[in-house]
Amino acid sequence: MEKKINDLKFEIVEDKEHYFKSSQVLYKYDTELSSIKILKHEDNKYLLYTKYLDDDILVIDKSQNSSFEQKEFLDYIILADILILITLCLLILKMVYPLKNISKIIRKFGDGEYNLRIKTSNKDEIGDVAKTFNSMASNIQDLIISRQRLLRDIGHELKTPISKSKIALEMIEENKYQKILSKALSQIDEMVNELLYIEKLSSNQNRLNIETFSSETVVGEALSRLFIDDESLVNISINSSFKIKGDLNYLSIALKNLIDNGLKYGTTKPVYLLIDDRKISIKSTGEPLGKPLEYYCEAFTQGDNSRNQAGYGLGLSLVQRVAYKHNYIFSYYHENGFNIFVLEM
């Protein structure tokens, strides 16, 4: 019996009562003379109990000890892997966090906060990127400030003589030369104003004054800026009024420019203004544009039919910038002999 137990790598358990109390019977087979039980101890070890007549024996498989040791070792390995992964995640977060901060500052810099700089103590590649950005940002800020100061000074220097010239012209007897000078001064004044508006929008110098107003309000404001004596020159149709969330000043200037272009370059009058489905459309008769809309949205660009008209090709450029700042859609198409420009809110 002892030899067989050793061959099977079993071990006799002396403290039977302890194991019986803390074990669960998984299998049991009884006869009149004998009994066999397979037990599962609370520490997950298995035991075999055998009884014949008055003799009994309880044995345990010794090979289970090595299995439990292997399981414990595997648990340690898994725990070590988890700790390594956590450490790697923390290292990655430490590396990525400065990039998130850099991205945030670059986005704000693009929105016009030119005084922002990246503060970092990293001496790796991220630190080099931060230093390069700070150097670039300083150069860009200096250039923008210089340009803004130059334009502001030019605008101021031009506005004063233009105003004085207009006052002087009012005192001159009206004749054809007086009308020519008055028209020229008005054109220069308008050009200076639109250049300053375009510069402010392009450089994010001027924040939009966002408010809510009706589509009729922006149309009325635009018409008041045109100073037209004959109201029949603009035919207004309102199919469905709607609320607009934006800068009334800039939107009215943009709409004024579109109406003004229709009046200048349309082959017949009136110009049609249609409000419908969150869109404001300006329709004027004429040949289709020879080039894509983007070409005419460049500053100082005019079409062939504008040679005899007043203007400096700034109108559509300003309209496009206003639409872009509001995340609106500015589009053009030609249909049934009409050039149609659309501001989609």
pLDDT (tens digit, 9 = 90+) per residue, 119-145?
A: 877 777 888 888 888 889 888 888 877
Structure token digits, residue 216: 């009729």
- Nearest-angstrom CA–CA distance, 278 and 280: 7
- Nearest-angstrom CA–CA distance, 36 and 33: 11
Place of tokens 């250039």: 143
- Is the confidence at residue 168, as pLDDT, over 80? no
3-state secondary structure of 162: helix
Share of the chain above pLDDT 90, in %: 21
CB 183 within 8 A of CB 213: no
- Domains observed in the chain: 2-61 (no CATH), 125-202 (1.10.287.130), 210-344 (3.30.565.10)
The contacts of residue 243 (CB under 8 Å, 6+ apart) are 212, 213, 214, 215
pLDDT confidence bin for 309, thresholds 50/70/90 = very low
pLDDT at 204 (0 to 100): 56
CB 63 within 8 A of CB 53: no
- Closest Cα partner for 332 from 277, 298, 283, 286? 283
pLDDT at 28 (0 to 100): 92
In terms of C-beta density within 10 A (0-12 exposed, 13-18 middle, 19 or more buried), how is residue 96 classed?
exposed
pLDDT at 310 (0 to 100): 43
Query: Model's pTM, two decimal places?
Result: 0.52
pLDDT confidence bin for 303, thresholds 50/70/90 = low
pLDDT at 205 (0 to 100): 52
pLDDT, averaged across the chain: 81
pLDDT confidence bin for 307, thresholds 50/70/90 = very low
Distance (Å) of CA 85 to CA 90, 100, 188, 249, 281: 9, 22, 68, 56, 59
- Is the confidence at residue 117, as pLDDT, over 50? yes
pLDDT at 67 (0 to 100): 60
pLDDT at 293 (0 to 100): 87
